[in-house]
Amino acid sequence: MQRTAPDPQREPDPAPPAGLPVLPELAAHLAAAAGRTAPEPPGGSAPLRTAACGYWERRGLFTPPDRVLAAPGAAALLLALYAAVDGAVLLTRPCAEWYAPPARLLGRPVHVTPVPAESGGLPDPFALLETVRRARMHGDTPRVLVLSVADDPTGTCPPPEQLHEVCEAAAEEGLWLISDESRRDLLHDPHDTVVLSPAEMLPGEVVVLTDLRAALLPVSWPVGLARFPGTRRGAVLRDAVLQTLARLHSPLPGPLAGAVTHALGEPDAVRERTAVAARVYGALTGALHRALAGAGALCRPPHAGSHLYADLEPLRRPLGDRGIVGSAALERELAPWAARGGHRFEDDPEALRVRLGVDGLLGADMALRQRTLDAADPLTLPHVRAGVRDLERTLAALGGAQGRPHRAKGVARAGEAPAAGAPTRCGAGRGGGRGPLSRWPQQCPGQWREAGAAPGARRCVTRPRPGSGFGSCSDPVTGKPESSSSSPPSPASRSASFPVSFPAFLPVSSRVLPVPPPSSRAHRGPPARLVTPVPHSGSARPSNGAPR
């Protein structure tokens, strides 16, 4: 009999983030209700669910109390949702680290779809259609797609037109959409990014999930909310989730429910803390992004939340010389900056990708963290400057002190003039790029322009980049896609005429297969009708939580 090899040693989990200091107002409400011994009913009490309805109405989503459920953490709600919807789960790559474990705990198949180069949180619509087709070809039945409008781990917000295409593709395939909107209130610049909920486009097919610890509550107070569609299918799904929560026998503590109800009303102190946290997170993630970009890493500029996702693949050669060949080793090297390897986010363990957070810059104790919140410019504080400086030195040492990425011959670096005849990335949306890393996250992933062309010139030639998915080149002046129509065509309508270019996660032998037309795909009932969102009226606030 052959002896089996021992299991590989599992990487220890990094220390959980300490978060921000507890608001005195919330601590007072928790202390006042400390004598309450009765637990909350499964799904939350009526006052808590009513307060949650007001929370969503201020964000443009009218919600009656009978369509809301509360649980001790968003992960518990996600587990109950997976249990209620039988079938395979579709996730993005990368995605939040708590999306996949509940599905695997229930034995549900998990299929990952890469995100486009512009932002995370949503899959590429064409890759989504191909993933669904191949999952069905292998006997699975995809039923759920989990996405995020303010993404963790990338810290980006997908544009509304990309969200529209993904919603259209999901509706054609009969998928439930679970929209994680935990960080939608943590926009670094409310005037720079538009956050749109899929529930405004597909009201009958979207379950909105919110982890209140991301913005309203301390990280040690686990409370999650779920908003269900106001349809018959939505009511059936809500009842099934409620039954699962009742069987888990893990209700919310009574004293905590009182403090959460007060926080959901968003008094001035809570709103001010959320706005200050978003401002501080924006400053600190911006400093992390500059340090990573200066070392030669590829990193999308963060727009929301307290994290960003970096790709150190350009530094693979010097990192390999130090024995760093995967995300787990990279996590150990960058542990002081709240690093978590890409393998924790459904990414390739062999890829040199890592998520960094601001927890390593806020301070070692709550006094320093409160000082960081109170500072007009947190980057001027000594402990913040020291943390950023140490990160720059560490990255320089890991990259061989080069501070500049490897590049192909004839391609200019960021800030350098391109050589004659050399291709450079086109400037999409925010001005012309000069090199492959100058504006990489904000540029068209599969379009290039001729060197020497003016930043506003539309001289693009199609040159798909493997693994980038699909994208359309934008006019640098108007910011609109270069298309004859004002609205982007649907993925299904473009699949018949647009040449298919599959991402790198598909086998080479399978990339010649076209996406089947909608008539040949299996449907789970009639496709849902997309709703064009309209401006909120009355006293409703915009999606970023700021008053009009």
What is the band of 475 on the pLDDT scale with cuts at 50, 70, 90? very low
Distances (CA, A) of 64 to 53, 60, 69, 72, 187: 6, 13, 11, 21, 27
Give me the mean pLDDT over the 501-510 stretch. Answer: 39
> At residue 190, what is the residue type?
P
Q: What is the mean pLDDT of the chain?
A: 78
pLDDT (tens digit per residue) in 286-339: 999 999 999 999 999 999 999 999 999 999 999 999 999 999 999 999 999 999
Give me the mean pLDDT over the 529-533 stretch. Answer: 54
Distances (CA, A) of 225 to 73, 82, 122: 8, 15, 21
Q: Which two tokens stand for residue 153?
A: 């781990």
Q: Is pLDDT above 60 for 431?
A: no
Cα–Cα nearest to 99, from 77, 123, 131: 77
Delineate the domains of the chain, giving CATH numbers in brackets.
24-266 (3.40.640.10), 270-398 (3.90.1150), 409-480 (no CATH)
For 26, the 3-state DSSP assignment is helix
**Could you count the other beta carbons within 10 Å of the beta carbon of residue 194?**
15
Give me the mean pLDDT over the 59-78 stretch. Answer: 95
pLDDT (tens digit per residue) in 102-153: 999 999 999 999 999 889 999 999 999 999 999 999 999 999 999 999 999 9
Q: Is pLDDT above 50 for 374?
A: yes
pTM: 0.74
Who's near 362: CB < 8 A, 6+ residues apart? 18, 20, 280, 284, 368, 369, 372
Q: Is pLDDT above 80 for 465?
A: no
pLDDT top residue among 397 and 482: 397
Q: Is pLDDT above 80 for 464?
A: no
Q: Which two tokens stand for residue 511?
A: 């990339």
Cα–Cα nearest to 72, from 43, 52, 97: 43
pLDDT (tens digit per residue) in 178-218: 999 999 999 999 888 789 999 999 999 999 999 999 999 99
pLDDT at 38 (0 to 100): 84
**Could you count the other beta carbons within 10 Å of the beta carbon of residue 219?**
15
Give me the mean pLDDT over the 17-25 stretch. Answer: 88
Q: Is pLDDT above 70 for 441?
A: no
What is the band of 7 on the pLDDT scale with cuts at 50, 70, 90? very low
What is the band of 531 on the pLDDT scale with cuts at 50, 70, 90? low
pLDDT at 4 (0 to 100): 40
What is d(CA 319, CA 296) in angstroms, rounded to the nearest whole number?
Answer: 12
Q: Is pLDDT above 50 for 546?
A: no
pLDDT top residue among 53 and 486: 53
**What are residue 91's phi and psi, to 5 degrees?**
-125, 160
What is d(CA 49, CA 47) in angstroms, rounded to the nearest whole number?
Answer: 6
